Amino acid sequence: MMISRRQRVINERGVTYLMLMFVIVLIGIATTAAAKQWKAIVQRELEADLLAKGIEIQNALALYSTTIKAGRVMPGEVYPQTLADLTRLPKPFLRKVYLDPIGHGEWEYVRGPTGGIMGVRSKSRERPFRQKNFPLAVRHFEGRATYRDWVFQHPSPSSAPIVPQGTVPSSGVPPTPGSPIPPGESAPVTQPTQGLP
């Protein structure tokens, strides 16, 4: 009788130990999943912040260049030497000098032909979550592999006119009579000549 009671207590301790180990493993798995999800949420927030600040810098560079060139005949664009130049009074183009939200530090500068800052980009080589449906100002970011490939610059490649795929931009010169009409274009309408002998 004493032996069986002792055996039962030992068996119950073993089962309790196994249940405790099982619960610890489940808590570990749940914590790991929650940590991954939290990291993804934080990265998405930083990515949105990167887009907002980068577009703001890109717009500030465009306004700076347009304002400096106003009333002058200057070939090409004019760029600031530092981002702090964009925040100077009397007319600041940028509220403050932002840091790179993803890289947690200074931006990597893209220099123009004259040495000024024509754009910025993150130093991070992480893969972005967002791969499509970008704002119009940065629609050229689609399919880029890393945040470093997101270059916020002026002039922006996204500001180029969009030509639908499969169409050829016309030269604006009407075809001469008897010349072949390119595919996808219609024949020009000729106006009747009235009152001419």
Q: Is residue 109 part of a domain?
A: yes
Q: Is residue 63 part of a domain?
A: yes
Q: Domain count of the chain?
A: 1
Query: At 118, which helix (H) or strand (E)?
Result: strand 117-121
Taking only the tens place, the pLDDT of each residue in 41-63 is: 999 999 999 999 999 999 999 99
Query: In whole angstroms, what is the distance from residue 119 CA to residue 109 CA?
Result: 6
Asked whether the CA dihedral 137, 141, 146, 148 is positive or negative, the reply is negative
- Provide the 8-state DSSP code for 149: G
Give the pLDDT confidence score for residue 175 in this predicted structure: 47
Q: Is residue 11 part of a domain?
A: no
Give the pLDDT confidence score for residue 2 in this predicted structure: 55
Residue 100 contacts residue 106 (beta carbons within 8 Å): yes
Residue 150 contacts residue 144 (beta carbons within 8 Å): yes
Return the CA Rg of the chain: 32
Q: Is residue 117 part of a domain?
A: yes
The residue type found at 192 is P
For the stretch 145-161, what's the b/e string if a residue is b when 16 or more beta carbons lie within 10 angstroms of its beta carbon?
eebbebbbbbebebeee
What distance lies between CA 165 and its chain's CA centroid?
Answer: 23
Q: Is residue 176 part of a domain?
A: no
Taking only the tens place, the pLDDT of each residue in 144-158 is: 999 999 999 998 887
Q: Is residue 166 part of a domain?
A: no
Averaged pLDDT for residues 118-144: 92
Query: In whole angstroms, what is the distance from residue 138 CA to residue 130 CA?
Result: 12
Taking only the tens place, the pLDDT of each residue in 149-191 is: 999 999 888 776 544 445 554 444 444 444 455 554 544 544 4
Domain containing residue 76: 51-159
Q: For residue 155, is the peptide bond before it cis, meaning its omega torsion is within 30 degrees of 0?
A: yes
Q: Is residue 164 part of a domain?
A: no
